[in-house]
Structure 1
Amino acid sequence: MALRVPTAILFSFAILPLAFYLGRDRQSTSCRCFPGEPCWPSPEQWDNLNASLSGNLIATAPIGSVCHTNTSFAPYSSQRCAELLSHWSIPATHYQDPSSPMAAWWANFSCSPFSAGCTLGPLAHYVANVTCAQDIQEVLRFTTKHNIRLSIRNTGHDYLGKSTAPGSIALWTHNLKSIEYKPNYTASWYAGPALRVGAGVQGREAQDAAHRSGNGHVIVSAHSPDVGFAGGYTQGGGHGPLASRYGLAADQVLEWEVVTAKGEILTASPAQNADLYWALAGGGGGAFAVVLGVTVRMHAEERTASASLVFPFDAADARAWEVIRTFLLAALPLADAGGTALWVLYPGPTAVTFIGGPFVLPGAGAEDLQSYLAPTLELLREYEMGYDFSINTYPTYHASVATAAVNVTEFHVGGALVPRSTIHSNPNGFISTLQEILRHKAAISSYSMNVSRPINSPVSANAVSPAWRNAAVSLLLGIPFNYTNRQVNVENQRLMTDVLLPQVSALVGPGEQGAYLNEADFNQPNWQSLFYGENYNRLLKIKQKYDPKQIFYGRTAVGSERWVEHGNGRLCPV
């Protein structure tokens, strides 16, 4: 079980409150039991756990083992290895497996088709295929009794490695696929249609169910259809094509159904266990409780305009940057009108490609969306720059949504929330920063949006970072992962942490710094303030209340500064 965690991981203690020092019991002051140690359960004890789970305890076998000889996992098969290689970069390859990380960094060269050998490395030692709340309770009893590390995994769509834990038991919630339409949900702040989805439901599944319900509805879900809906996505805030119109995914939550660290099954809403509701809605996944399901409000289907724009350009061409500047400024009123714009700057061998789309404007037609994009298109024509543009009006939002999976596996990532004030008052400085990032051959993927004024207010108070309410762009940087050279990957992670992200931060005033905690650099030194903002102290107190023994741990999750991962992945208190 050898995980070599980069020594560059830093922790900031600048804002630790008194709660950090409270409640340390025997378990939280000792290292988690690790495979091979005397404390590790016997085979008979593992068999007993398996029996209590109706045979749903899985001994982890890396999917890449079919490409290796002399392993204790799956036998070598050249045919199966070739098949695996053909779809290794597709998210479904990993989310259909109980343990394979979707982000390549977290497999850490342990057992992929490209690695020299095959070990469990950073993967969970066992996986519990969760079918009900009782399964979670059984695993919690077992891990608490034996002081074993616990991890929570649905799809493994996770840039920060929260769902990957060496020497752990993983709660695999992927098969909790229940969906229930509630046409007349009533709460103190909301009355109307709602959708309850189990923890394993993915974004496209939830969106399809909403579309089929009643006369047709929509929910706020991610651009990528593969993302697990109730887990880190919604718990971390959750943006998507409908975010400017209705708010973040966390803003939609009516109630959570959870299992706490003590094994209690609770409903958390603004009326019951309100503090836990507040923390789960934006305070990050894997920190407070195991989510069984979430109930969210739905919105009526309506016609939707969607467009795409692609053009290649020379990075040294000032005209192209004037086009991009025009687009960025035009995206501000588009977001104010309830629209969103996904755009990518992708550096190639000879040119950079601007890949825009979908640009989405709900409740509108193509002519409305075209009016926001017209200045950009006019400038492209004036400069005689070649481009591909398409725009359509769809009868429903559901009809406008692409079904293709989005590849998220093969990049080192880091992110930042860029406030509206920066784009509005210093667009040239922002453009200069983008140019400098591209010089390092990093891709730039961004969402332009405005989640400060969603319609269908009010929104119940939640733990979403205040930086979101001022953000105009959620910026995500990506450096390609190298499958054969680990040192190159380490250097690229340092480039992200030490060079690229500080350039973005330099543009933003000290009171407006922020990052989307689902799409961020796991090495971020000041992650408490950057990911959670002024909410962090309150979140720590809620963590202490519901998880006093620190059962739940995830990198950069609330309370994780109390722990450190050693070179082999063993988790110990600081």
Structure 2
Amino acid sequence: MASLPVLVTALLATSTWATPILSANINIGSSLNVDVDLKGVTSTLKSLFEPNTIPNITTSRCKVYPGDAAWPSDDAWTQLNDLSGGRLIADPTPLAAVCYPDQPGYDAARCASYTTSEWQRSYMHMHDPIEMLSPVAQGMTCLPPNLFDSQGCSRGGFPKYVMNATEPKHVQLAVNFARNTGVRLIVKNTGHDFLGKSGGKDALSIWTHWMKDIEYIEQYTDSELGYSGPVFKSGTGVQAFEIYKAAHEKGRIVVGGEGETVGVMGGYIQGGGHSPLTGLYGTGADNVLAFEAVTADGEFVVANSTSNTDLFWALRGGGGSTFAVATSVTVRAHADLEVTASRFGFSSAQTGNETFWAAIRSYVDSWVANADAGTYTYWTLIPTNGTFAFAFSPFFAPGKSKKEATALLQPWFSQLNELGVEFDPNITHFDHYYDAWRSSFPLEAVQKPNVATGSRLFPRGNFETAEKRQELFEHIKTSSEKNRVQVHFNMQAKDPAGGDNAVNSHWRPMVSFSMQSVRWPINSTAEQILKIRKDFQDVDMQSWRDISPGAGGYLAEADRMEPNFGDAFWGDKYPKLLELKKRLDPYDVFFATTGVGSERWKVESIDGLPNENGKLCRVESA
């Protein structure tokens, strides 16, 4: 069993309804028994919690919100809290509320202790029931005024109620309540998502973060998927640092994200999930053998190769907060392996611009060979006041000795030497994956309040000829010269060993998963921000799309303004996913921006920007 992190957010104790988690080991627990759990509930309220009901379809375009005649009574919310054993958090408070005299819990000293570096560390936010790692997607309505331009503190895109779920029954109660009342429902694990899928103004949130159970099973057989071997069955709140440590203790590895605080068993794995091991074992979703989940009709089910197979297919890559709420995931466990990593950088300030760009151009020539070798390179290109900095963060070669990894890098290193670029490759060998991972990757940062990021999955076709490689390089260079911060992952997504799933078909021919970001002045108006973001999509991102026709992007690290997101995020899987969405969730209980079927809805944000600070309403023409 995995023990909880020492830190349990103090915010849980600020709500009169919230129950702090005291146990070090949380069992995933039981499912809802209507005859037992709803016994004694008045008939008026009982109907709000029953599964398999057809909701009352109103003429309202929007989900139900405070102030609406259909908004649940205080008695209804109290009953939800009581049925869940006091797990409901009412009116949760943003972390920055301590900075504002008009907010409960005002604490000027605590606010003064916030620093920019601290605020942007995911450690500060990951155990919070509402905080999102994308303040832009939240709506920028409550940030520390000593750090950012702020107009005060309001709930904005944060939920009004949070179900602190630690067993399926809690999830079922919340799903049934949302379906039967029309209240907007959202699902949050740790809040890792550039697009803000874990937020929603005045919504009821299902917080799965404390579903921390980890069970190791030495022998598991699924003949349909052709697998026989060890697995881990984990609660959906398990984060990368937790599952990697548990696997290491068993001499195993699992496919998860490079970021240590990512909730790998939640939205990450349901959205596909790239990994330092993707070149060897595919995406996170490719390694799933079973889910336990709560469906839109409130049933607790097992979805695997023989049971609820359509749901199983959709959950493996179809996106979180869309088809069901997963409570546990069973994933393949692979044998531990050696890793060699390299971390270094250089800048145009030391080389001069011409030599710097010649070095980057020569690097592009090695991407196909590196991807084919199963390596994973996280590299960055940062412009600063007319200079440019390159960094391996890192080059990561699982299953490779130091000699093998050095041989892969040597052709490029020789070119760097010929160019006169001074660098220390810092090539380090590790006997175990866990040690290599801990030593190599940076901690994820909370996004800045003036940034939007777009992504592209550049396929092998962009690298087949010198002319194509030159074309891609020129676009990378142009983006840098326009002051676009870039993050690239040179890798391939190995075909799934377990057969077809909903993972974006654009992943398979990919050689580089590439991102660029646009920034705007911190005090920009909404109109100015919208224009900058639209221009970014119409010009910067469109230029990347133009040279990679038929390719796509990654749904978890992208821009809410991505055009034709269905094809971009799922490729040829999207028509089937749309059909399954209509069948598995006919009343759209689940919604996630740019998720499958989200074309039928729109967040009508208060400021007109693409964020969660507004009502979720039907699109008239959809």
Q: Calculate the TM-score normalised by the size of structure 2.
A: 0.84
Instruction: Give CA-to-partner distance per residue, 1:264-314, whole Å, 9 cap, x none.
Output: 111111111111111111111110000101111011011111112301016
User: Cα 1:38–1:83, aligned 2, differ >3 Å: closer, same or farther?
Assistant: same
Equivalent of 1:349, from 370, 385, 391? 385
Report the equivalent of 1:559: 597
Residue identity (%): 32
1:386 and 2:422 matched: yes
What does the per-residue CA deviation read over 1:138-190, in whole Å, with 9 as the maximum and x for residues that have no partner?
A: 11222122210000000011111111100200000000000010110100110
Cα deviation, 1:302-339, whole Å, max 9, x if unaligned, reads 11111123010169833322322222221311221111
Structure 2 match to 1:67? 99
Deviates more, 1:380-389 or 1:230-239: 380-389
- Name which of 216, 228, 232 aligns with 1:195: 232
- Distance in 1 between residues matched to 2:59 and 2:570, nearest whole Å: 23
CA deviations over 1:210-233 (Å, ceiling 9, x no partner): 1112xx011111111111111221
- Asked if residue 296 in structure 1 is aligned to residue 331 in structure 2, the reply is yes
- Equivalent position of 1:51 in the other structure: 82
Give the distance between the partners of 2:501 and 2:412, measured in 1 at CA: 37
- The one-letter code sitting in structure 1 at the alignment partner of 2:127 is Q
Counting only pairs closer than 5 Å after superposition, residues 213-224 of structure 1 correspond to structure 2 as: 213=250, 216-224=251-259
Alignment check: 8 A CA contact 1:199 1:229 kept:
yes
The equivalent residue for 1:322 is 358
- 1:507 is aligned to 547
Deviation of 1:52 (Å): 1.4
Shift of 1:192: 0.3
What pairs with 1:484-523 in structure 2 (closer than 5 Å)? 484-487=523-526, 489-509=529-549, 512-523=550-561
Superposition deviation, residue 365 in structure 1: 1.0
Q: Which amino acid aligns with 1:341?
A: T
Question: What does the per-residue CA deviation read over 1:17-64, in whole Å, with 9 as the maximum and x for residues that have no partner?
Answer: xxxxxx998259742111122222222222221111211111221111
State the superposition RMSD in angstroms: 2.0
Q: What pairs up with 1:57-456 in 2 under 5 angstroms?
A: 57-59=88-90, 60-71=92-103, 73-83=104-114, 85=116, 87-114=118-145, 115-188=150-223, 189-213=226-250, 216-313=251-348, 317-402=353-438, 404-410=442-448, 411-425=451-465, 426-453=468-495
Structure 2 residue matching 1:473: 3-state secondary structure: strand
> 2: distance between equivalents of 1:375 and 1:525?
39
1:5-16 alignment, distance < 5 Å: none
Structure 1, 320-329 or 93-102: larger mean CA deviation: 320-329
Q: Is the 8 A contact 2:293 2:324 kept in 1?
A: yes
Letter of the structure 2 residue corresponding to residue 43 of structure 1:
D
Equivalent pair of 1:268/1:277 in contact (CA under 8 Å): yes
Secondary structure of the residue aligned to 1:548 is coil
Which of 575, 582, 586 pairs up with 1:544? 582
Tell which has more relative contact order, 1 or 2 (C-alpha 8 A, sep 6+): 1
Q: Which residue of 2 aligns with 1:571?
A: 616
Amino acid at match of 1:397: Y
Unpaired stretches in structure 1, ≥5 consecutive residues: 1-22
Report the Cα offset of residue 490 of structure 1.
3.4
Cα drift, residue 408 of structure 1 = 4.3
Partner AA of 1:325 in structure 2: R
For residue 325 of structure 2, what is the amino acid of its counterpart?
Answer: V
CA contact (8 A) 2:55 2:180 kept: no
Displacement of 1:100 in angstroms is: 1.2
- Count of aligned pairs: 544
Paired residue secondary structure (2:574): helix
Q: Which residue of 2 aligns with 1:9?
A: none
Q: 1:28 & 1:535 partners in 2: Cα distance?
A: 33
Quick one: structure 1 residues 248 and 431, their matched pair in 2 at CA, closer, same or farther if it must change by over 3 Å? same
Distance 1:483 1:63, change over 3 A: farther
Structure 1 residue 566 displacement after superposition? 1.7
Moved more, 380-389 or 166-175: 380-389
Q: What is the CA-CA distance between 1:479 and the residue it aligns to?
A: 2.9
The residue number in structure 1 matching 2:28 is none
Residues 74 and 486 of structure 1, relative CA distance in 2, 3 Å threshold: farther
Instruction: Output the CA distance in 2 between the equivalents of 1:293 and 1:181.
Output: 13
Give the aligned residue type for 2:419: Y
Return the letter of the residue paired with 2:547: L
Give me the whole-angstrom Cα distance separating, in 2, the residues matched to 1:475 and 1:286: 25
For residues 67-103 of structure 1, the C-alpha deviation after alignment (integer angstroms, 9 at most, x for no partner) is 11112x3224233442365511111222211111111
String of CA shifts for 1:100-148, please: whole Å, max 9, x gaps: 1111202322111032211101111111111111111111222122210
The answer to whether the 8 Å contact 1:306/1:393 transfers is yes
Answer yes or no: is the 8 Å Cα contact 2:96–2:111 preserved in 1: no
* Equivalent residue number for residue 17 of structure 2: none
Question: TM-score, normalized by length of structure 1?
Answer: 0.91
Alpha-carbon distance in structure 2 between the residues aligned to 1:92 and 1:558: 30
SS where residue 128 of structure 1 aligns? strand
With 75-84 and 246-255 compared, the bigger mean Cα shift is at 75-84
* Deviation string, structure 1 residues 359-409 (Cα, Å, up to 9, x no partner): 111222111111111122222222222323210111111111136522242
Tell me the equivalent position of 1:16: none
Residue aligned with 1:223, SS: coil
In 2, the alpha carbon distance for the partners of 1:383 and 1:389 equals: 15
| Corresponding residue of 1:460 | 499
Q: Is the 8 A contact 1:28 1:549 kept in 2?
A: no
Whole-angstrom CA distance in 1 between matches of 2:596 and 2:64: 22
Q: CA deviation at 1:424?
A: 2.6
Partner amino acid, structure 2, of 1:95: M
